Structure 1
Amino acid sequence: MAGKKKRVAMSALFLAILIVVAGCNSGQSNNSSSSGNSAANTSASASSNADTNSATASDAPKEKVKISLFLGNGANTKFPIGIQTDPVAKIIEEKTGVQIEITRNPQKDVAAQVNTMLASGDLDDITYVAGDYSQDIAKNVTAAAKSGQIIPLDDLVAKYAPDIMNNPVLKARTEFNKKYASPDGQLWSITTYGGTTLETRPSDGIFIRWDLYKQLGYPQINNDDDLIKLLSDMKKLEPKTKEGKPVYGVGGWFGEGSGWGEALFRYGYAWSRGYYGYPDLVAYYDAVNRDLYAKNAITDTDSPYWNGLRFAYKLNQAGLLDPDSATQHYDQADEKLKNGQYLMFFSGWQLGEPANYFKSVGEEYKGYVALPAFQGHGNIQAMVNETSGYQYVISKNCKNPEAAMRLINFLSTPEGSRLVNSGVEGQTWEMKDGKPAYTDAYVQESQSTSDWESTNLQTGLSLYNLLSPWSGNVISPFDKAYFNLNMEPGYISKNYSDVEIDAMAHYGVQNLTDIYLNSAKTVMFINYDSLFQPMSDELKTAAANINSYAYKNEFKVIFAKNDDQFAKAQKSFLDGVAKFKPDEVYNYYKTEMAKAKPVMDPIINEAEKNYPFK
């Protein structure tokens, strides 16, 4: 099970490149001892001859190959430095002959860290490459190929990766990479952690204190004004926590600066309405219509951006916005959420934090559930990573590229994908009535711990899952269960909270996902911008100036004293931002989206056939 998600660069959330570089050092082992809802998801079965072609333990070389990994994916775990000896790493070593070595952990700004590594040539054998834009990541790979730092993979895949060659889905990814992620038509990267995934809960939604919502009689919430009234009524019911701390409707962390500091209204609000904000404020992705938002978001006052600002203004007017939002950082806001001081939040990955607090003070009956999407909007419930997952390339200096490809091939098998997502059979999971399921001991531990970093290091779960070609929400063709057994209905049902059980009863459904599938059009996040051509330097400068100007002026709008001041602040904002060429930046997005859609839409349409979306 994954631990708490860390902050990641918003613009690179769904596309990253893993690079196998800088010498896969071959060395003799020192003989050291060992110290993934009922809706159908993309099936990996499309389908492989994995059982007949997979490498076995007997195929592993007698000489061990040491490969260092830089898992700079905003990983939840701080690895011990050196050869990894967790149970999953030992099985990988047994199956492939590869010893996984960690030489460093990611810093807060992973993109800057990786750029420094690239500039200095100080790279691990497998290195994550980040960038401010999706196109920058591909650009780094292309540059590495052109400079001779990496080798083409066509022959290696043909000789040493039968589980890629014999799986139509994985083979299609290689063909896509040759055409759209290559400087010359050769294969330079292998896409990993792909597939189309369905979330149990919205990735971002309007998560409210359901126990208070129940006390108020489940009022119908149709728009932002209804929501603000609901939060006001909730605050009247619970103005303070059990420990006497003040309760607010919501909190921001504006002190973090442009981008992450604007998450409350720029990202969370937009996502909960079915929009995704691109790195530049002029453009939003409209997930309901699968296209660019039809107008320039920073100049259109009815855009997701301006509606987010207006919502924050109304929250402040109603006394619902935490007054510390203007200066506090994420860690401070997160601590308040953990302590039950916020009645609403947007990010689904924060759900477990207040639950632990309520449990610690004997208030398990309290908790949060996401409301269904407002009419005309959509819950972003699915993530499409058919072409934009993580990827490998292999370094020119790799002393044993055959072993590197054997490792990639093993993780392409159902066995390897289950291993890195759910751990070792017999330790964390076992076969029950012909289906894989977590052991009772692991389920008990997972329900009692809040220290997921230590648990993952002990079990090996979710440490290397981004190296698999399949995300955990994909169904294995071998046993028809999710690679990540967290997604299995039997496991999920054991972990529903009291408020989630009440919400299912209120909406008349048997599992949580159906609340969102039945209530409104459930939509996909699609990474169209992975195909965008890079911006010109002139447009990048203009976009950066727009973002900087917005951060310096949008809080004058949020903290306006009344509607007249709001209108004046808005007009001043619009007059000022006009000098930074916002329409030219928006036209870049419009042009690139028009070119990307004919390529991506057939792929997405094929993926959607596996889903009961409405």
Structure 2
Amino acid sequence: MKTSMEDGKHEKKSNQRMLSAALIAGTLAGCGSDNSDSTESTAVESTAGDSTESADSSDGETEGNSKYKDFITVDVFDSMANYQGIQSGWFAKIVKDKFNMELNIIAQNVAGGGDTLFQTRSAAGDLGDLIITGCGNGRLQNLVTAGLVIDMTDYLKDAENVHRYDSAIETTSQLVEEDGIWAIPSESSSNSPTTSSEGLEPNYGAYLRWDAYKAAGYPELNTLEDLLPALQKMQEAVPTSDSGKQTYAISLFKDWDGNLMSNAKPEASLYGYDEIGFVLAKADGSDYQSFIDSDSAYVRSLKFLFEANQMGLVDPESTTQNYDTLFAKYQDGQILFSPYPWLGQSAYNTDANKAEGKGFMLAPIADECIFSYGCQVNGNGGNAGIMIGSKAEDPQRLADFIDWLYSPEGIMESCAQTASTCGPEGLTWEMKDGEPVLTDFGKQALYGETVNVPDEWGGGTWKDGVSALNYKAVNQLDVNPETGICYDYTTWSSVLENQDNTLYADWKTQTGAETTMDYLTSHDQILVAPGSGYAVPEEDSQISTLRGQCKASIVDYSWKMVFASNEDEFNSLLAEMQDTLEGLDYQTVLDYDMECAKAQNDARVATVKQYEEEHGTDAAAEETADGSADDSAEADTSAGIDTAADSADTAEAEVTEAPEE
């Protein structure tokens, strides 16, 4: 089985990597540079802020897009997107001003989920002008073979930004037999693969409405199941939302369901598991589980949600609502538990709420050890890559756009729902005394308030203007070479120093920690799976057919189990699901996925070894940018790297990480 780490027909390129890796140490209060001279002299100037042309004008003659005379609409097939339609607002204006084009987002997450839309458009011979989708499981090779994407080599020959990540591009190119650059992988990083990619907050966690948790008396949480009585007390203590609606501890949605019920995965991730196919693989390589085993972490999660529903803690609209509806409920304070920081915190942790002690903060569970994604030195093409469709009207313009997405300006301005970059300089942030700081507008927009964007920046609300691509080109913890500081604004010293609010003060008093990662690190409750860029190989048609049947049953039965009328029905449905899947030859697919999980683990080992050889250092003990030893959790989890598992890399998994912000 071919992995991205095996010797292939492509010779490894020597490349320019950005080696200003600022690993987050201790309280993660740095991620900066003391080279203030270069910082001040190279601050990015926002094109959008200098232009007064509206996002929907099409004369193509304004300064900044004179290279592109004809206005075009670009169809973007995007497996990561949670919005479908024409990009609007401030990001639309930036794209219009710079490239004289608009983005028409085609989102499978919105169009019913799954691969139906992908298959339909592929069969029609035109997937999109710009394509964002996973490259693993043979998908990229199939796109190349079918003539649906183009070789970008010549179009990127003068690119200034993507070639910083040539090593990651080469790794993704090894997924295709033909020579060429067919896709640029997402989330490329120059940081160590054993460094957590997640900044101050892990991707998963028990984030509770802290004011409700406080009102309930800070119930002790020793296990996942202890959350249930705690959430019940919280719901009783805060029975109504800010607008007077009934509160619920938990609210669910179906948008990201793939191989499993996506909303049942975070609870398993609290204990170090991530999915690959039908396998839950623990980050330290110590355990591999089938989803449907009666004692699996997934079934435990389903039982947790079932019991929550029995207690009246689950929003009854969970089976019919989408992500946008869910997010609005979080904004109103109607939901009390968030399994992701970027959901509850981004929706509700406004300055005004935090001043009142209201907002989502991590409530540590004593026995948890949370899965964390390591930085992807070879990119994360298995999860998502960006390509140019063969029917594109102006491929050079799209190549220029892709290159811009990988530029410091593009990384900052195309802030995704699930990322912590903050948008255009001059609007949400500015440079002061050689350091980036959030503007007053930025503080409002980035912490959940509904704010209107000035007309000269595109108008509309901030939220409506955020990039619908939901694409993370580069890891947010990499250093912006034009500021000398991390792209992730939550790690900026100016932001960390501005935590003087009632919410944070109470959380700090209760936990004794400065940040979430500080707490998890000091309590050995974070487990980093080294990033390698591994992508599952193409599965044969038999496996694909069986998988399609099996995953549909898993998702269907999972929802039925959560909303079962009693425990007997829950157990009966579990047994029925297991019997049904046995009849569908689930075991054949599981055996294949187990092989992939172990190959992924091998890729982790090889990536860490390669990084150490290239940098002459122990990746787990790499020094920070200022020369001090990194004793953070991100670098202190090397004990399991020889058997570490990575992120979910199946084609279906590309939608499960999709939201944020």
Aligned residue for 1:262?
261
Aligned residue for 2:588?
584
CA distance in 2, matches of 1:351, 1:570: 31
CA distance in 2, matches of 1:42, 1:465: 28
For residues 96-115 of structure 1, what are the structure 2 equivalents within 5 Å? 98-103=99-104, 106=107, 108-109=110-111, 112-115=116-119
Asked if the contact 1:504/1:510 (under 8 Å) is kept, the reply is yes
For residues 131-142 of structure 1, what are the structure 2 equivalents within 5 Å? 135=136, 139=139, 141-142=140-141
CA distance in 1, matches of 2:258, 2:265: 9
CA distance in 2, matches of 1:323, 1:466: 26
Gap runs ≥5 in structure 1: 1-36, 46-50
CA distance in 2, matches of 1:261, 1:545: 12
Aligned residue for 2:364?
372
Find 1:191's aligned residue among 179, 185, 203. 185
For residues 482-521 of structure 1, what are the structure 2 equivalents within 5 Å? 482-491=486-495, 493-494=497-498, 498-521=502-525
CA distance in 1, matches of 2:527, 2:347: 27
The yes-or-no answer on 1:38 pairing with 2:33 is no
Aligned residues: 545
User: Could you say if the C-alpha distance between residues 406 and 302 of structure 1 is closer, same or farther in structure 2, counting changes exceeding 3 Å?
Assistant: same
For residues 19-34 of structure 1, what are the structure 2 equivalents within 5 Å? none
Further displaced range: 76-85 or 212-221? 76-85
Aligned residue for 1:225?
225
Measured against aligned partners, the alpha-carbon deviations of 1:324-352 in whole angstroms (never above 9, x if no partner) come to 26754346665654443443231323214
Gap runs ≥5 in structure 2: 1-26, 36-40, 48-62, 192-196, 416-421, 612-618, 625-629, 637-661
For residues 210-359 of structure 1, what are the structure 2 equivalents within 5 Å? 210-240=210-240, 245-253=245-253, 259=258, 262-264=261-263, 266-278=264-276, 282-287=278-283, 289-290=284-285, 293-299=287-293, 301-317=294-310, 319-322=311-314, 324=316, 327-330=319-322, 336-352=329-345, 355=348
Q: CA deviation at 1:579?
A: 2.1
Asked if the contact 2:377/2:533 (under 8 Å) is kept, the reply is no
User: Could you say if the C-alpha distance between residues 79 and 472 of structure 1 is closer, same or farther in structure 2, counting changes exceeding 3 Å?
Assistant: farther
CA distance in 2, matches of 1:399, 1:112: 25
Identity %: 19
Aligned residue for 1:86?
93
For residues 364-443 of structure 1, what are the structure 2 equivalents within 5 Å? 364-375=356-367, 377-380=369-372, 384=376, 386-389=378-381, 390-394=384-388, 404-418=398-412, 420-421=414-415, 422-443=422-443
The yes-or-no answer on 1:206 pairing with 2:199 is no
Aligned residue for 2:603?
599
Aligned residue for 2:145?
146
User: What residue identity is the alignment partner of 2:266?
Assistant: G
TM-score (normalizing by structure 1): 0.72
Aligned residue for 2:640?
none
User: What residue identity is the alignment partner of 2:545?
Assistant: T
Asked if the contact 1:65/1:99 (under 8 Å) is kept, the reply is yes
Q: CA deviation at 1:405?
A: 4.5
User: Could you say if the C-alpha distance between residues 373 and 99 of structure 1 is closer, same or farther in structure 2, counting changes exceeding 3 Å?
Assistant: farther
With a CA cutoff of 8 Å and minimum separation of 6, indicate the structure with the bigger relative contact order. 2
SS at match of 2:289: coil
Q: CA deviation at 1:129?
A: 4.0
TM-score (normalizing by structure 2): 0.68
User: What residue identity is the alignment partner of 1:314?
Assistant: E
User: What residue identity is the alignment partner of 1:544?
Assistant: G
Measured against aligned partners, the alpha-carbon deviations of 1:54-100 in whole angstroms (never above 9, x if no partner) come to 9xx9999856475654443415696458998724653xx3xxxx433
CA distance in 1, matches of 2:216, 2:209: 11
Tell me how large the CA RMSD over aligned residues is. Answer: 4.6
The yes-or-no answer on 1:173 pairing with 2:168 is yes
Measured against aligned partners, the alpha-carbon deviations of 1:387-416 in whole angstroms (never above 9, x if no partner) come to 215434445666875555455445544455
Measured against aligned partners, the alpha-carbon deviations of 1:33-59 in whole angstroms (never above 9, x if no partner) come to xxxx8367799x9xxxxx99x9xx999
Asked if the contact 1:204/1:272 (under 8 Å) is kept, the reply is yes
User: What residue identity is the alignment partner of 1:378?
Assistant: I
Q: CA deviation at 1:589?
A: 0.8
CA distance in 2, matches of 1:550, 1:68: 39
User: What residue identity is the alignment partner of 2:169?
Assistant: T
